[in-house]
Structure 1
Amino acid sequence: MAQETFAFSSSALRSLRLQRELLEREDRRRALARESATRRFQPEPPRPPRRPQYCRDPTVHNALYTGDLLRIKSIFKDETTTNLVMETVSEELVWEPEQGLWVLSPRRQQTSALRIAAGRGYSDCARHLLLRGAEVDAVVGGRAPLHDCAAAPRPDCARLLLAFGADPNVLSAEGAAPLHLCTAPDSLACAELLLAHGAQVNLGTRDRQVTALHVAARQGLVAHVELYLRHGADPARRSRQGETPLNAACAAAERPEDAERFCRVAERLLAAGADPGAAGRKDHTPLHNACGNGQPRLARLLLRHGADATVPNCAGYTPLDCALHAVDEYRHQRPEETIALLLDHGAGPVHPKMLKFCCRHPPALEVVLNAYDRIPPAESWVGAVPPELWQEHREFYTSAVRMAGQPRRLQHLARCAVRRHLGARCHLAVPKLCLPPPLRHYLQLPLQGTLS
């Protein structure tokens, strides 16, 4: 026996153990490779969906909503607990038509632990949940965690989720990707992260086919629009209703204080090749929308890029008709400037029935009436003028009624003839005419406060 054995040194034993571990690791690797190859040609049957488990414990909910990391670590220790559905039940009044009365009905709201932590910016809590097996793309309660990060916005948590393999194009229950939820100015960092990790910039929502560029244009987000265009966003892409991003921007520019940023959005889109005459919903062009919202600067921009001032929508209304409909609502935004602008770009005199929409703003009514060579009868609008407004502008209204149906001065008839001949070139040709400055000014339909 002594001749068949020999003593091993400690270093030799360590070497043998290491060699054995390496051989076992190689055996496991080969086994996994064979198993992977087998699955490739013989896909395994689909696993049955995991039955959701619910947590209604307010203590657990409170730990998540307050970002209590120590308590979260003590509660969420494995894959089962981290993927619990957090459910709250509240009572709300709903109308029961069969009973004819209001009754209390339970309203259930569901979310996930990861959604709560990520949506509130608790990155340490979110990291713990992810390391314990939380499903990064699980859509619970209609959204995935990345949707909440984009909507909040929480760029740090969005970066964390993406680092753990979150899908930047995951769809919510409503069919929206995280990029569609970047609707605030401070969500730019989230949008940049999503695009850097493969978000599809031209991906449309499931039902309406609205892209991220539509959303940014509708919100007046200049920096977002620039970012999406740099990443290949299509400014001609239409939603299911036929609207382009330029349509969306012009339709949303409703408040005077928003005029500046929506003009900048429109400038970026037009520079990228957007069609200023693209008709969208109800055949409204961007110019229809701009005029309907009382935005003279936006209308001027569109006309400078070739928008047609005479094209009708599905109801037969031209941009000038839309501008007249908006006079009463936007009288403090100088709607007469928009009207004069459209007339200088080829818009013709409107139907007399449209005068009732601008008669309560004398400057707008004066510009419109000066587009006629013979003022139409006043019966269509005179009854819509409030008595106190008539008293305030008695001279103008009296002259408008007196001149109705009567021939205008020869000077005005000559002005109408020149403008009719120039048509859509008025805005370019009139300033270049070899005429005395007062006559050139007269051709541009200045306000005089009376008609003659």
Structure 2
Amino acid sequence: MATDRLPEPGRAKLQIFQKMERDPPQSPAPADRYHTALVTGDLGSLQPLMAQHYGDANVVFEINKNEMEWQVKSLATFGLSGLWSLEYKRELTNPLCITASHGHTDCVRHLLHWNADVNAAPGGKSALHEACQGGHTDCAELLLEHQADPNLMSEEGLAPLHLCTSPNTLRCAQMLVKHGAQVNQVSSEGQESPLHIAAKHGLVDHTLLYLQHGASVDTRNRHEETPLSVACGQAQEPHGQEPYLEVCCLLLSHGADANATDEEEKSPLHKACKNASHSLVQLLLQNRAKVNVFDYNGTSPMACVLQSASFKRECRPHQTVQMLLNHGSQRIWPGAFEKVLKSCASTPEIIGILFNSYSKLRVSEKWREVIPEEVFQLTRKWNAHWERSPSPPFGESCTPEE
């Protein structure tokens, strides 16, 4: 079967079953009505159901979903070739987890009144995990007041603090810390601390909260990355770098090592240069980051920015190149200049800065094969200027005209 577009997905079939851990004093509540009231936060419907079926506060719901998914097998002559595949999904949960995940505080309170187990996690996550992941502060606070464990690990090895991954979860994080959450607790698989998570998502207020409560600033994850290293690696978009810059400022002001390397021997400066993050590079250099260090593959920070320059033009990578040179970065070996020209052909500003970093550099006709003609003519013009004057053709700053 071939088609030029994906077929419409089939309708999912949802089946809800109740799994009782013990025999209830009365008949179990109707599953569909019970589940609907929990999802929608319909306290008016939930109250009579609980009054009549009060043994169901800790019932386990088994939710089975059969969903049709289109599986692409190969490209056909006239479109995509594939077939529909029935995907079976099974989820275990309970009333408290359902209401907490949707932020229905009144329903959470009502279930706790009927002795719902506050730390039960039939599907791998407790109600507190669900509330924190959704940023439902009132629910999280209520659960903590009823002795929810702030350090309980989920089936995936995550504590509630690890699920505070967006700005709207700040109050949840504050509540967790207030009730004894460990700010240095690491996840089971990635060995990430809450500070790593905050750095990864550019969460300035979370970062400050954890540091104020004793978070280890240079703790390392599975890949030997510190929070500073993680933040520098995540600052990828030119218009979204400000939060990461603030996070890095906080980390450095609390003693973060600007030269800590990961398992690939990459420093924070390597990662900031790869993202052509001029402000981050400047911050790191001001905090004594080493400019002439090499990672496991023998790559320097200068090489990192040159390799990414062509697809980071909106970040103005030539500013990063100039800053590295101003702080003592080794110049490109003249024999490798042709290769650099090829990778930076779309950024003539960088070519000009590198060209001006030499007292003398012979222009080769081979350059014409790897860079646009107008850029090649610029190099000839710069070379001619050198023969007349010892000063760089673009003045003392060595920065080409914009």
Question: Do the two structures share a fold, i.e. TM-score over 0.5?
Answer: yes
1:206 aligns with 2:206: no
Structure 1 residue identity aligned to 2:57: T
Q: CA deviation at 1:95?
A: 6.2
Q: CA deviation at 1:110?
A: 2.5
Aligned residue runs from structure 1 range 201-350, under 5 A? 201-350=183-332
- SS of equivalent to 1:200: coil
* Equivalent position of 2:31 in the other structure: 57
Where in structure 1 are there 5+ consecutive unaligned residues? Answer: 1-48, 416-438
* Equivalent position of 1:110 in the other structure: 92
Structure 2 residue identity aligned to 1:59: R
* Structure with the bigger percentage of helix: 1
- SS of equivalent to 1:326: helix
Contact 2:292–2:300 (CA<8 Å) still a contact in 1?
yes
- State how many pairs are aligned: 366
Contact 2:276–2:320 (CA<8 Å) still a contact in 1?
yes
Distance (whole Å) between structure 1 residues aligned to residue 263 and residue 352 of structure 2: 32
Structure 2 residue identity aligned to 1:230: Q
* Equivalent position of 1:162 in the other structure: 144
1:366 aligns with 2:352: yes
- SS of equivalent to 2:241: helix
**Residues 186 and 376 (structure 1 numbering): CA distance in 2 closer, same or farther, change over 3 Å?**
farther
* Equivalent position of 1:84 in the other structure: 59
* Structure with the bigger percentage of strand: 2
Distance (whole Å) between structure 2 residues aligned to residue 165 and residue 308 of structure 1: 48
Distance (whole Å) between structure 2 residues aligned to residue 182 and residue 166 of structure 1: 16
Aligned residue runs from structure 1 range 9-24, under 5 A? none
Contact 2:29–2:56 (CA<8 Å) still a contact in 1?
no
Q: CA deviation at 1:52?
A: 11
Distance (whole Å) between structure 2 residues aligned to residue 291 and residue 407 of structure 1: 31
Contact 1:204–1:212 (CA<8 Å) still a contact in 2?
yes
**Which has the larger displacement, 195-204 or 180-189?**
180-189
* Equivalent position of 2:3 in the other structure: none
Cα deviations across residues 326-363 of structure 1 (Å, max 9, x unaligned)?
21111122111100000111111223223322121111
- SS of equivalent to 1:105: strand
Cα deviations across residues 92-118 of structure 1 (Å, max 9, x unaligned)?
338699xx9653132122222101111
* Equivalent position of 1:409 in the other structure: 387
Structure 1 residue identity aligned to 2:50: F
Distance (whole Å) between structure 2 residues aligned to residue 195 and residue 132 of structure 1: 27
**Residues 114 and 314 (structure 1 numbering): CA distance in 2 closer, same or farther, change over 3 Å?**
same
* Equivalent position of 1:187 in the other structure: 169
Distance (whole Å) between structure 1 residues aligned to residue 72 and residue 317 of structure 2: 48
Of residues 388, 400, 407, the one that matches 2:379 is: 400
Contact 2:322–2:399 (CA<8 Å) still a contact in 1?
no
Where in structure 2 are there 5+ consecutive unaligned residues? Answer: 1-19, 74-81
Q: CA deviation at 1:218?
A: 1.2
Contact 1:86–1:112 (CA<8 Å) still a contact in 2?
yes
Normalized against structure 1, the TM-score is what? 0.74
Q: CA deviation at 1:259?
A: 2.0
Contact 1:55–1:85 (CA<8 Å) still a contact in 2?
no
* Equivalent position of 1:123 in the other structure: 105
**Residues 345 and 130 (structure 1 numbering): CA distance in 2 closer, same or farther, change over 3 Å?**
same
Contact 2:60–2:94 (CA<8 Å) still a contact in 1?
yes
- SS of equivalent to 2:87: strand
Q: CA deviation at 1:183?
A: 1.1
Contact 1:52–1:84 (CA<8 Å) still a contact in 2?
no
Contact 2:341–2:351 (CA<8 Å) still a contact in 1?
yes
Distance (whole Å) between structure 2 residues aligned to residue 176 and residue 340 of structure 1: 43
Contact 2:57–2:95 (CA<8 Å) still a contact in 1?
yes
Q: CA deviation at 1:185?
A: 1.0
Contact 2:60–2:95 (CA<8 Å) still a contact in 1?
yes
Distance (whole Å) between structure 1 residues aligned to residue 105 and residue 227 of structure 2: 34
Contact 1:201–1:232 (CA<8 Å) still a contact in 2?
yes
Q: CA deviation at 1:372?
A: 2.9
**Residues 315 and 80 (structure 1 numbering): CA distance in 2 closer, same or farther, change over 3 Å?**
farther
- Cα RMSD of the aligned pairs, angstroms, is 2.9
- SS of equivalent to 1:364: helix
Distance (whole Å) between structure 1 residues aligned to residue 348 and residue 199 of structure 2: 34
**Which has the larger displacement, 205-214 or 275-284?**
275-284
Contact 1:356–1:380 (CA<8 Å) still a contact in 2?
no
* Equivalent position of 1:142 in the other structure: 124
Question: What's the % identity of the aligned pairs?
Answer: 36
Contact 1:79–1:134 (CA<8 Å) still a contact in 2?
no
Distance (whole Å) between structure 1 residues aligned to residue 366 and residue 264 of structure 2: 27
Cα deviations across residues 195-248 of structure 1 (Å, max 9, x unaligned)?
011000000001111000111111111111111100000111000110000011
Distance (whole Å) between structure 1 residues aligned to residue 364 and residue 247 of structure 2: 41
Q: CA deviation at 1:382?
A: 4.2
Of residues 354, 358, 361, the one that matches 1:375 is: 361
Distance (whole Å) between structure 1 residues aligned to residue 115 and residue 314 of structure 2: 59
Q: CA deviation at 1:315?
A: 1.3
Distance (whole Å) between structure 1 residues aligned to residue 363 and residue 34 of structure 2: 75
* Equivalent position of 2:42 in the other structure: 68
Distance (whole Å) between structure 2 residues aligned to residue 142 and residue 305 of structure 1: 43
